[in-house]
Structure 1
């Protein structure tokens, strides 16, 4: 007996005894809507068989083989749980993916069908896509570890991405989760670099997890590669405020002043940059020369307890040769100089990612992206404009599943 005949007989039974259902429900499960789904393998066709591989540049296609039934639903996901968008024809005879498949991925496709009597059928198929040729690799930064409240997250791409659509694809695949939750977002520093920061500094004690879901996703003519995930721990909120006009460096931990140090900053022509900077590195010894910054007056000095805040060579460091000017005048070539004892204390107190803010200088403002992390000098509205995705508050699909479900064509 065919599955259709079985369903018809069961349906007849249900109709005959319906008035007696209060006394006996033996045939209740014979109704088509409550019947166990039949295997719809003979009813549908794929452009990939179990165990086969398909080209991710081509759409996934599913069709009904004959007129005995129709497709009612299709759900396709990869091993990472990402949904594939699709479109079902109005008559239910064919379904076609409308979003790109990932390269080198395994997919599971679940198809629901219905025969002429309304009985439900099911079919599940698995397949792999062929590996990617050209890859778009992503490197997340910084390395896992403990950082200050000002530390941005970075994503470095192996190739330039310029179109808004491709940038949005990349950005949506980069995930940042924090405990406690904070408002934050990505911005494009250039065609190959993205930065993520919260609206305000990270909360002290927060944990931040960063991962990429770009692996296998098509971006232009390339497919995304895998990336090593990160876990950051945020330490105490340590802030250093250099007042170039008052010649002081004030250090605060979690809002409380813990020390004020007399300093000297950049002299006229070498004025220290104003604005918020993030500590990039700590170097117990650095050889500083006039050639390294293009200074006209020659110098070649061994420098100890140097805390770097720009890639071009701005540090907070020991400057025993200028102790007479510290707290009174600005005589450096742009760095913040202090006594050896104070520099050692500062070096031991701060960590990478802590914040250094310069005020009261005649220097230019710290730039956002080309000389270290000047990210905090960009106001939040402008930062969000550097994103390629829909800003928070705009309309988006309710869930990933909803956005990938069937959409009948017209």
Structure 2
């Protein structure tokens, strides 16, 4: 139910006769609004602002609504601490709706409407949104602000708690790029959602990508509200693709489609089967580079063998120039000790052994999110082994979106 206030407005063509400060009219927790003007005011338009002036428990997810009868909206200004808050004017200019609002925050609204005969009504309102009983925050975004990344780079958003209303939260996530791309979000966990581009398309090289999470005021579950917006901007570098064949035992690196380097490698030797999986085989599939370590400490502890137990294959190696490509311990890295086998025989525990000079070059050349395509192995890379999200079919990935849709980023 709207609260109505009658007030005389004298106005000539295009000139407001009075500015009505409605401090005596307050809305309640139910989102009641305040109305000014109408038929009794000599033909001036009627303006309704919701929530009403003085409200201290406005619902953040409802935002601010301004409606006009008997005229059209000339201007609406919504501010928080003097800074404007975005909103959208309807095509017929009879209503205006803001975005969601920050919980526990005071806002000011100013609206002006004009009748067809040029009479005006002005209204101002001040209100405060309710505090969030339970706060939803973004605790991490990958990649980092300003980072230059590869064309396969996913955007990984992690929240401080499980998200109940995934549709509402996903609706608040916007990805823009200076060159067009098709992508989609996929919820990998109740508190994590990941954006990637369509299979085989990737990001176009040398451009800027921006994530805007308009989370403030989004109702993410029972008594749970987003409390802050988050923005992240990063750049896509050259299109780096490394193709590794465990059969020919060679790596070929390309940049923007042009071959730049090639060298002999030694991949996983196989021979250790655990639960039907040969863990000593390098995985075949589309990997993404995830990070760099110089050096990386590699031990046999991952397979339950004490590094000191040499009889049962125990080892501890300090490995320079290591670029991670999965969560199962696979790297492209330097290995001087296996240069005799590189290009001839697969002898590693699953990594891509490379000559030191080439491994150093790859380490310095690569970005996080570069494509590493490995073929020839009988062991298939799982879609959730690191950032191997391109291993999932596009249709299935889109189904993992709470909104079940593709997104165009331009």
TM-score by length of 2: 0.73
Matches within 5 A, 1:6-405: 34=13, 36-39=15-18, 41=20, 46-48=25-27, 58-63=30-35, 68=40, 71=46, 74=49, 75-76=65-66, 77=78, 79=80, 81-83=85-87, 102-110=102-110, 120-138=120-138, 139-144=140-145, 145-162=147-164, 166-199=165-198, 200-220=201-221, 221-226=223-228, 228-268=230-270, 269=278, 270-294=280-304, 297-368=313-384, 371-389=385-403, 391=405
- Give the structure with the larger helix fraction: 1
**3-state DSSP of counterpart to 2:286:** strand
Whole-angstrom CA distance in 2 between matches of 1:227 and 1:63: 31
CA deviation profile, 1:189-232 (whole Å, cap 9, x unmatched): 11111111222211111111222211233221222132552221
Question: Would the aligned equivalents of 2:249 and 2:267 in 1 still touch at CA under 8 Å?
Answer: yes
Whole-angstrom CA distance in 2 between matches of 1:236 and 1:99: 37
Kindly tell me: are residues 64 and 235 of structure 1, through their superposed partners in 2, closer, same or farther at Cα, counting changes over 3 Å?
closer
Whole-angstrom CA distance in 2 between matches of 1:113 and 1:340: 72
Whole-angstrom CA distance in 1 between matches of 2:175 and 2:33: 34
Whole-angstrom CA distance in 1 between matches of 2:206 and 2:122: 49
Shift of 1:322: 1.9
Question: Would the aligned equivalents of 1:205 and 1:233 in 2 still touch at CA under 8 Å?
Answer: yes
Q: Which runs of 5+ in 1 are unaligned?
A: 8-29, 49-53, 87-91, 394-410
Whole-angstrom CA distance in 1 between matches of 2:320 and 2:335: 8
Query: Cα RMSD between the aligned structures?
Result: 3.6
Kindly tell me: are residues 47 and 384 of structure 1, through their superposed partners in 2, closer, same or farther at Cα, counting changes over 3 Å?
farther
CA deviation profile, 1:108-153 (whole Å, cap 9, x unmatched): 44566899x9954221213232443421111322212111111111
Shift of 1:356: 0.9
Q: Which runs of 5+ in 2 are unaligned?
A: 1-5, 50-64, 67-77, 271-277, 306-311
**3-state DSSP of counterpart to 2:360:** helix
Q: How many residues align?
A: 347
In structure 1, the partner of 2:73 is none
Whole-angstrom CA distance in 2 between matches of 1:131 and 1:4: 36
Whole-angstrom CA distance in 2 between matches of 1:5 and 1:191: 54
- Structure possessing the higher radius of gyration over alpha carbons: 1
**3-state DSSP of counterpart to 2:295:** strand
Question: Would the aligned equivalents of 2:333 and 2:352 in 1 still touch at CA under 8 Å?
Answer: yes
Whole-angstrom CA distance in 1 between matches of 2:356 and 2:21: 82
TM-score by length of 1: 0.73
Question: Would the aligned equivalents of 2:33 and 2:48 in 1 still touch at CA under 8 Å?
Answer: no
